[in-house]
Amino acid sequence: MAAADYQKRPEAGFVTEALEKKLHDMWETKPGLFGVIATVDHKVIGIRYIVTAFAFLVIGGLQALIMRIQLAQPDQTILTPEQYNQLFSMHGITMIFLYALPILSGFSNYLFPLLLGTRDMAFPRLNAFSYWIYLASGLFMYASFLIGEAPNNGWFNYAPYALKSFNPGLNMDFYALGMVFFGISTTVGAANFVVTVMRNRAPGMSINRLPIIIWGTTTVSVGILLANPAVSLAFFFLWLDRQFGTHFFDTAGGGQPLLWQHLFWIFAHPWVYIIVLPAMGMVSDALPVFCRRPLVAYTLVILGTITTMLLGFGVWVHHMFATGIPFLSMSYFSGASFIITIPSAIATFAWIATIWTGRIVMTTAFLYFAGFISMFVIGGVSGVVTASVPADLQLHDTYFVVAHLHYVLIGINLFGVLGGLYFWFPKMTGRMLSERLGRWNFWLTFLGFNLAFLPMHWTGLLGMPRRIYTYPEATGWSWVNMLTTVGSFVLAFGILLLFVNVWISLRRGAIAGRNPWDAPSLEWATSSPPPAYNFPVMPVVASRHPLWEDRLDESDGHSSIDRGLVLDDGKEMLATSVIDAEPRAILKMPEDDPWPFLVTIALTVGFTALLLHWWWIGVAAGVATLLGCVFWLWPRDDLAQTKGAAHE
Amino acid sequence: MTLSIAKSIMAKAISGWRQVGQRAGLAVAGLALGTHAASAQTPMYYLETFGPKGEITASLTWGLLAISVFVVVLMSVLVLVAIFRAKRLEPAELGSKLPVSHPGGGHRWIYLGLALTTAALIVMVVWTMEVLAEIDEPAVEPAFTIEVTGEQWWWEARYVDPDDPSRTFVTANELHIPVGEPVRIRLASADVIHSFWVPALAGKTDVIPGQINETWLQADRKGVYRGQCAEYCGVQHAHMAMRVFADPAEEFRSWWEHQLEPADTIPEDDELLRVGQEQFVLKCGACHAVRGTLAGGEAGPDLTHFMDRTTIAAVTLPNTPGHLSGWIADPQHQKPGNKMPNLDLSGPELNAIRHYLETLD
């Protein structure tokens, strides 16, 4: 083909059955094993993310229940200290890395192209790759249980206890290599979100018309790109210290244990915002649907989101107030940690104002969002208390902080996600979740969670340190621990009901239709579940709420769903301009491709070889990875990569 | 000028909050535990404290908690009122449409909320900085220093008299301090990171290898205060506690004098104690020191005045003959993973060593 063959002016047209049939044949993943490993459909990948993340949530939750049994009473010996230490470490690693971000990536993966009115992520094969790496790195870290040497130094993994002289087993090697491995997934995933939102939107979807979850995920994706190098580097240094006797963190050779803490927290504090801001975005988009009005203060909420992420990079030392840092830095980081309250509070006021001025449709999703707001406030203010240095010197490393972080992670992440699941499940599956079971699910989860974690603030004020596998009776911590254990089982039962609800509703749930909630955004303009190509013709957007335009007087023209550019000359979608989303080019999208999976296999072999010191296999796996990438990225005719065919 | 006014307002606020907080705290704690003497039941509680450093921090913490509770209640009430006052709509029938409107006025809420948040934050920041400056250094220069070394999983304490180096001695896990005087604590680690924490007296200071951190303690009331390692430090992090005894100054000085002495020599004619000492030096002396004998190990706690201590194994067990025998016979049972090996002592050896240890007062 000559370059001129790619020059094409797309025609606008209506949705026809013939067009849908043609697109279906082009986009639908072929059945069979090849399709399973080669699919690049963002919706399949998104659901895989969600299912995998929920599986890790269940595993992490079971670990928590075992620990709660051990702690229910003083001086128990159900677990050995080493077992307990491995459990609390893997619980943290699982929930923070293998559940909290991937669940949000799952929703964002599923929703991004639908919300943006396009057909796939900017880099579909990279998208598949990021999922496979996530799964492989998760399994890699969990393989440590098979030999009884799971990470045992907490998710924070302070040196020098992480070094070989104190921790000679493979435990820390699994964690160090696992995190470098996992970092590949988050990094490429984040890059994909950023490029997608900049270049692949429905014409007319200027940046002031983007749904909030798009802003949330994009903001944290930029955050990931800036934060992740620090932690990958820290874990790589740790691995070098352990294998080759370098001394980044080893005082014997002039290293600094505090270097670890700085590198870790300059990543891990932003990470806290990374795993809540997209969930806040979900609430900001979905809550107004049940209040029958647009979100109050759209612009302020977005500015708040971005400011929170920015300030989130300047507060990491508040995890280190007790380390003997100078007075001046303590004052600075204490002040910064107070100030971050202001942008993060904006969303709270906006949600309350949205409910206050709206008309409410009482659904399980709404209950989750309303509960979410209170949990958000509790997790927020307990965070403010720990921003105060003198108070923190007492509260630090006690159960007060455990209570605080669970209000943040369960309250803000999980409650948002569960509300989001009730909201988007019909879109993903075509069936509604049962509202009756939903009420039981919500109330048990909500009450169990608060029963478990509200008294835990008191446990912390009674001085119970974190990460102890048992405690003597004389400390007076017994009854509060018993309460928490009871609450955690109620919470677990509530979550179990969710899975029952999903199980039943997948089979017998009411058929959802396109737009069961009468919601305003583009994902509801296509069928449930959406076809592989998402939209038969490219929608054109004229306002922030395309499906509410007939009832809100806020747009200049009309959004167009049924008539738009027809892109059916192979897998195609639109490239648009960054700010105003004006159409700029037609992109040729890749077919299903096994290379992301195969490269993941090569990398998994490589990391395993590094773990076990099979150096030659490691080298071979490295070469295989490079070759795989070469095949993957080799210019192709069907992607118009051979003749220099970018049509700006 | 402004600063001094702010300071005096802060001082008033602090003393006011202290009283309110203390009363409320005792009430809550008393209610929860069914007792008035809450602190005796909960030795790690830090909202009722017994030294200047702890007290000013406790007032601040009470103040912050009160603001927090107020904010949580206020916001939750707002959410509930918003839900209950709003008009309800039934969920949409399939394919039907519900009304949507765009009433204004919501922004006022946000600006009001942000103004109130900012005001509250300013109060909290100023108060925080005030207390932070206050707890940085004691009012008078401490008379002596205790060099505390955190080790997996116990505390070594070296008492240093700045005027007379010969009056230095080493003990473990149970510190003694004089009532009403500040004491400087110099912290070092022998292995990994620990954190020094006696909640009823002061907040935490981390114990980090490769650096020396300093803090200070002062107890204004005679008593025994429990402390515990607060930074995860490995298998037996849970059993790395300590006790701080605050004694009247005179009692403290004589305790110090006593600690300087070597262990009493055992009576010549007591066969059991002779064997006990011999076995101790042989089996235990590589790790433990008893000054005045050939036992000079430094890996474990100095046992010269072992019977002065009320507990063993870093406050894991009370120091009674029964617990002591059990501990020596099988140290891995009560504190699995700790560094004291199981020596497979015979019954008579164990008995002799235990009797010998009981003479170390």
All domains of chain A in start order, with CATH: 8-33+518-588 (no CATH), 34-508 (1.20.210.10)
State in Å, rounded, how far the first CA of chain B is from the last one.
59
**Least CB–CB distance from A293: residue in B45, B81, B102:** B102
Contact by Cβ (8 Å): A135, A601: no
A83 part of contact set with chain B, CB < 8 Å: no
State in Å, rounded, how far the first CA of chain A is from the last one.
19
Share the mean pLDDT of chain B: 90
Comparing alpha-carbon positions, the chain A residue that sits nearest to B43 is A475
Length of chain A: 648
Q: Under an 8 A CB cutoff, do B45 and A396 touch?
A: no
Comparing alpha-carbon positions, the chain B residue that sits nearest to A83 is B235
Q: Give the model's pLDDT for residue A540.
A: 95
Contact by Cβ (8 Å): A368, A415: yes
Give the mean pLDDT of B292-304. 95
Comparing alpha-carbon positions, the chain B residue that sits nearest to A518 is B97
Per-position DSSP letters for A546-603, written without gaps between them: GGGTTT----SS--EEEEEE---SSSEEEEE-TTT--EEEEEEPPPP-SHHHHHHHHH
Q: Which residue has the tokens 């979905």?
A: A286
CA distance to partner chain B, nearest, from residue A386 (Å): 9
Among the listed residues A447, A383, A435, A370, the one whose alpha carbon sits nearest the alpha carbon of residue A409: A383
A15 part of contact set with chain B, CB < 8 Å: no
User: CA of B125: how far to CAs of A339, A404, B122, in Å?
Assistant: 9, 20, 5
A332 part of contact set with chain B, CB < 8 Å: no
Comparing alpha-carbon positions, the chain B residue that sits nearest to A297 is B107
- pLDDT tops 70 at residue B117: yes
Q: Give the model's pLDDT for residue A1.
A: 37
- pLDDT tops 90 at residue B38: no
Domains of chain B, by residue range, sit at 2-85+106-136, 145-260, 271-357
- Choosing among A164, A388, A470, which should be mutated to test the B contact, i.e. which has the most B CBs within 10 A? A388
Chain A residue numbers with beta carbons less than 8 Å from the beta carbon of B92 are 361, 516-518
Helix residue spans in A200-326 (DSSP H): 212-244, 257-274, 277-286, 298-312
**Least CB–CB distance from B79: residue in A297, A341, A374:** A374
What CATH number belongs to B145-260?
Answer: 2.60.40.420
Give the whole-angstrom CA distance, residue A562 versus residue A14: 6
Chain A residue numbers with beta carbons less than 8 Å from the beta carbon of B339 are none
Scan residues 535-574 of A and list those with Cβ closer than 8 Å to B.
Answer: 548, 551-554
Contact by Cβ (8 Å): A205, A539: no
Chain B residue numbers with beta carbons less than 8 Å from the beta carbon of A161 are 192-193, 232-234
- Choosing among A83, A89, A352, A549, which should be mutated to test the B contact, i.e. which has the most B CBs within 10 A? A352
Chain A residue numbers with beta carbons less than 8 Å from the beta carbon of B127 are 388
Q: Give the model's pLDDT for residue B268.
A: 86
Q: Which residue has the tokens 């492989």?
A: A136
Among the listed residues A7, A14, A9, the one whose alpha carbon sits nearest the alpha carbon of residue A583: A9
CA distance to partner chain A, nearest, from residue B62 (Å): 9
- Strand-pair category, B317-318 with B311-312: antiparallel
- Choosing among A381, A401, A524, which should be mutated to test the B contact, i.e. which has the most B CBs within 10 A? A381
Q: Give the model's pLDDT for residue A639.
A: 83
Comparing alpha-carbon positions, the chain A residue that sits nearest to B123 is A338
- Report the DSSP beta bridge partners of residue A540: A560
CA distance to partner chain B, nearest, from residue A639 (Å): 39
Scan residues 92-151 of A and list those with Cβ closer than 8 Å to B.
Answer: none
What CATH number belongs to B271-357?
Answer: 2.60.40.420
Q: Give the model's pLDDT for residue A2.
A: 40
- Choosing among B79, B184, B205, which should be mutated to test the A contact, i.e. which has the most A CBs within 10 A? B79
Q: Give the model's pLDDT for residue A421.
A: 98
Scan residues 175-234 of A and list those with Cβ closer than 8 Å to B.
Answer: none
Q: Tell me how many residue pairs between chain A and chain B have CB atoms under 8 A apart.
A: 294
Q: Under an 8 A CB cutoff, do A80 and B336 touch?
A: yes
**Least CB–CB distance from B237: residue in A468, A510, A548:** A468
Comparing alpha-carbon positions, the chain A residue that sits nearest to B230 is A465
User: CA of A505: how far to CAs of A434, A496, A497, A508, B51, in Å?
Assistant: 6, 14, 12, 5, 61
- pLDDT tops 70 at residue B292: yes
Q: Give the model's pLDDT for residue A7.
A: 67
Q: Under an 8 A CB cutoff, do A85 and B87 touch?
A: no
A353 part of contact set with chain B, CB < 8 Å: yes
**Least CB–CB distance from A390: residue in B98, B128, B229:** B128
CA distance to partner chain B, nearest, from residue A527 (Å): 12
Chain A residue numbers with beta carbons less than 8 Å from the beta carbon of B131 are 388, 390
Q: Give the model's pLDDT for residue B224.
A: 96
Say whether B271-357 and B145-260 share the same fold.
Answer: yes
Residues of chain A with pLDDT under 50: 1-4, 645-648
Give the mean pLDDT of B117-133. 95
Q: Under an 8 A CB cutoff, do A360 and B32 touch?
A: no
A153 part of contact set with chain B, CB < 8 Å: yes
**Least CB–CB distance from A353: residue in B106, B131, B152:** B106
A474 part of contact set with chain B, CB < 8 Å: yes
Contact by Cβ (8 Å): A200, A191: no
Q: ipTM value of the model?
A: 0.93
Among the listed residues A101, A70, A34, the one whose alpha carbon sits nearest the alpha carbon of residue A409: A101
CA distance to partner chain B, nearest, from residue A128 (Å): 34
Contact by Cβ (8 Å): A637, A1: yes
Q: Under an 8 A CB cutoff, do B208 and A294 touch?
A: no
Angle, helix B52-85 to helix B2-33, in steps of 10 degrees: 80
Q: Give the model's pLDDT for residue A6.
A: 57
Q: How confident is the model at residue B24 (pLDDT cuts 50, 70, 90)?
A: low
Chain B residue numbers with beta carbons less than 8 Å from the beta carbon of A255 are 210
Residues 6+ apart with CB under 8 A from A242: A162, A163, A164, A172, A173, A176
- Choosing among B17, B231, B232, B312, which should be mutated to test the A contact, i.e. which has the most A CBs within 10 A? B232
- Strand-pair category, B145-151 with B311-312: unpaired
Chain B residue numbers with beta carbons less than 8 Å from the beta carbon of A359 are 86-89, 99, 101
- pLDDT tops 90 at residue B176: yes
- Choosing among B18, B33, B44, which should be mutated to test the A contact, i.e. which has the most A CBs within 10 A? B44
- Report the DSSP beta bridge partners of residue B183: B217
Q: Under an 8 A CB cutoff, do B235 and A476 touch?
A: no
Q: Under an 8 A CB cutoff, do B238 and A166 touch?
A: no
Chain A residue numbers with beta carbons less than 8 Å from the beta carbon of B64 are 384-385, 388, 391
- Give how far the C-alpha of residue B42 lies from the chain's centroid of Cα atoms, to the nearest Å: 12
